[in-house]
């Protein structure tokens, strides 16, 4: 067998380098791309894969797992199965009831469906509570089961084509809310089912905003699964669909178009394409500038205020530590009204500080994220990775600080 061939996992137990190579090939990722994500050379990746270099340190193993989107570390390191949930948070206590509502297949009902206007008012309330709550999965998990059933019922009982389209628009948004609840929970099949149903409902609605939101969510799901081409295909197609509508569009359609421009930049940054990533950020910035100053999109958070946070994300995904910190400092004076989105921004800042060699600042920023929205950081793999890495720091004070935060977010038991 050629020395560069992919090993047969059935021949013998795979060593770390072989597993890394197999997982990299499964992602369709070159050594150059993986090395770039790890701040290492393609030659370093090749030497690890061939066993010339020994298994890296824990912190590097965690970075490799992040880059390859490994869910269970046993896939990468071998040994007995060790369910780690590094990049998936714990299952929420309300997950079983949400899952049951999604999986039901009601074909008849003796109950009258609520009006779409009433359903939309409930959705508006759900989004508002989500943004204001430190534990947003708890509150939307309480709303979702009945909201899913009622929205499905509204579609089935619609009397006219116009009523059915309106009901489908609501149903698509309910599935979007469900996707926020399900993200980073241990049921990826359920998340994909909701994502696909949301796309179908949005297309049936023929409503530009519903289509844009469903596409925005689907692109995120594909990108987080490592399917960058699929994410780009959805994002770019939807941008082409929305662009001719913008001269006459309302604020929500305008905002979702801006959110999709940023998503295209986000995916480019994950690929390591600096020029394309910042080009799309600029396009999103131009659309955000045309929104009312206090406007905040209720689903995507797209707004003038969020663009600073988006700049931090682009810099972090490009592994530019100094630029990440510079962008974080530039965005420091801007207030993000959503607690979970503000916590997510703090996590991105923490990633930037760690990239820039400032681990104490990274931990301090993660503590701010926890104070803003504890549930957000508990389900965030990047935050969990930073905390685990710093729990092995050579600094006793940093180890203690990281361990305390690890207990708070559920990575370690107290």
Interval 222-261: pLDDT, tens:
998 888 999 999 999 999 999 999 999 999 999 999 999 9
Please state, in angstroms and rounded to a whole number, the distance separating the CA atoms of residues 167 and 116: 6
Asked, for residue 413, whether it belongs to a domain, the answer is no
Q: Is 113 found in the same domain as 25?
A: no
Q: Is 71 found in the same domain as 177?
A: no
- The DSSP secondary-structure symbol of 88 reads S
Question: What contacts 99, CB < 8 A, 6 or more positions away?
Answer: 187, 190
Asked, for residue 221, whether it belongs to a domain, the answer is no
In this structure, what CATH number is given to the domain that contains residue 25? 1.10.260.40
Domain of residue 38 covers 16-77
At 360 the pLDDT is: 95
Q: Is 199 found in the same domain as 110?
A: yes
Whole-model pTM? Answer: 0.80
CB 164 within 8 A of CB 201: no
| Range of 16-25, 93-102, 373-382 with top mean pLDDT | 93-102
At 31 the pLDDT is: 87
Question: What contacts 328, CB < 8 A, 6 or more positions away?
Answer: 312, 348, 349, 352, 353
Asked, for residue 155, whether it belongs to a domain, the answer is yes
Please indicate whether residue 218 or residue 88 has the higher confidence score (pLDDT).
218
How many structural domains does the chain have? 2
Q: Is 105 found in the same domain as 57?
A: no
Output the average pLDDT for the chain: 88
Nearest 10 degrees: CA dihedral of 274, 280, 283, 284?
Answer: -110
Q: Is 120 found in the same domain as 25?
A: no
Query: In Å, how far are 100, 212, 314 from 191, measured between CA atoms?
Result: 13, 18, 25
At 14 the pLDDT is: 66
pLDDT in tens, 303-328: 999 999 999 999 999 989 899 999 99
Q: Is 202 found in the same domain as 94?
A: yes
How far is residue 10 CA from its own chain's centroid?
34
Q: Is 111 found in the same domain as 61?
A: no
Average pLDDT over residues 3-23: 59
Q: Per-residue pLDDT for 410 more than 90?
A: no
Q: Is 196 found in the same domain as 112?
A: yes
Please indicate whether residue 34 or residue 66 has the higher confidence score (pLDDT).
34
Q: Is 95 found in the same domain as 69?
A: no
Q: Per-residue pLDDT for 377 more than 80?
A: yes
Quote the crossing angle between the two packed helices 208-224 and 251-271, to the nearest 10°.
20
Asked, for residue 146, whether it belongs to a domain, the answer is yes
Q: Per-residue pLDDT for 392 more than 90?
A: no
Please state, in angstroms and rounded to a whole number, the distance separating the CA atoms of residues 59 and 389: 5
Q: Is 103 found in the same domain as 65?
A: no
Say what percent of the chain tops pLDDT 70: 92
Please indicate whether residue 186 or residue 154 has the higher confidence score (pLDDT).
154
Q: Is 348 exposed, middle or buried (0-12, 13-18, 19+ CB in 10 A)?
A: buried
Please state, in angstroms and rounded to a whole number, the distance separating the CA atoms of residues 149 and 106: 9
Asked, for residue 227, whether it belongs to a domain, the answer is no
Last residue of some domain: 159, 181, 206? 206
Q: Is 199 found in the same domain as 100?
A: yes
At 2 the pLDDT is: 38
Q: Per-residue pLDDT for 123 more than 90?
A: yes
Q: Per-residue pLDDT for 4 more than 50?
A: no
Q: Per-residue pLDDT for 7 more than 80?
A: no
At 388 the pLDDT is: 82
Which has the minimum average pLDDT: 48-52, 189-193, 306-310, 343-347? 48-52
Question: What contacts 152, CB < 8 A, 6 or more positions away?
Answer: 106, 171
Tell me the pLDDT band of 79, cut-offs 50, 70 and 90: low
Asked, for residue 24, whether it belongs to a domain, the answer is yes
Q: Per-residue pLDDT for 202 more than 60?
A: yes
Q: Per-residue pLDDT for 72 more than 80?
A: no
Q: Per-residue pLDDT for 87 more than 60?
A: no
Asked, for residue 162, whether it belongs to a domain, the answer is yes
Asked, for residue 201, whether it belongs to a domain, the answer is yes
């Amino acid at each position: 067998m050629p020395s560069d061939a992919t090993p047969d996992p059935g021949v013998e137990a795979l060593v770390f380098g072989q597993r890394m190579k197999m997982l990299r090939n499964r992602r369709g990722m070159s050594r150059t791309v993986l090395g770039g994500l790890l701040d290492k050379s393609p030659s370093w990746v090749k030497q690890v894969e061939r066993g010339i270099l020994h298994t890296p340190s824990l912190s590097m193993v965690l970075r490799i797992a992040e880059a390859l989107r490994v869910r269970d570390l046993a896939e990468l390191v071998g040994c007995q199965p060790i369910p780690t949930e590094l990049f998936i948070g714990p299952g929420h206590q309300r997950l079983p009831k949400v899952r049951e509502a999604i999986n039901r297949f009601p074909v008849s009902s003796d109950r009258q469906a609520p009006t779409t206007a009433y359903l939309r008012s409930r959705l508006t309330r759900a989004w508002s509570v989500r943004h204001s709550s430190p534990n947003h999965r708890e509150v939307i998990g309480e709303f979702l089961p009945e909201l899913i059933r009622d929205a499905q019922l509204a579609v089935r009982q619609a009397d006219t084509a116009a009523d059915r389209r309106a009901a489908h628009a609501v149903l698509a948004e309910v599935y979007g809310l469900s996707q926020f609840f399900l993200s980073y929970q241990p049921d990826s099949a359920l998340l994909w089912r909701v994502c696909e149903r949301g796309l179908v409902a949005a297309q049936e609605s023929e409503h530009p905003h519903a289509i844009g939101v469903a596409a925005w969510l689907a692109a995120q799901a594909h990108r987080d699964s490592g399917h960058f081409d699929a994410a780009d295909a959805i994002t770019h197609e939807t941008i082409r669909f929305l662009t001719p509508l913008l001269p006459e569009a309302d604020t929500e359609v305008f905002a979702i178009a801006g959110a999709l421009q940023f998503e295209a930049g986000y995916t480019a940054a994950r690929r390591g394409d600096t020029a394309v990533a910042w080009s799309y950020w600029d396009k999103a910035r131009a659309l955000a500038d045309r929104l009312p100053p206090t406007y905040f999109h209720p689903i995507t958070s797209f707004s003038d205020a969020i663009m600073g946070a988006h700049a931090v994300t682009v810099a972090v995904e490009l592994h530019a530590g100094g630029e990440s910190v510079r962008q974080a400092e530039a965005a420091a004076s801007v207030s993000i009204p959503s607690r979970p989105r503000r916590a997510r921004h703090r996590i991105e800042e923490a990633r930037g500080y760690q990239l820039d060699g400032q681990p104490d600042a990274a931990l301090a920023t993660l503590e701010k994220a926890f104070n803003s929205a504890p549930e957000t950081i508990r389900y965030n793999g990047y935050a969990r990775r930073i905390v685990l890495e710093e729990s092995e720091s050579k600094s006793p004070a940093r180890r203690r600080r990281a361990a305390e935060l690890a207990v708070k977010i559920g990575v370690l038991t107290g």
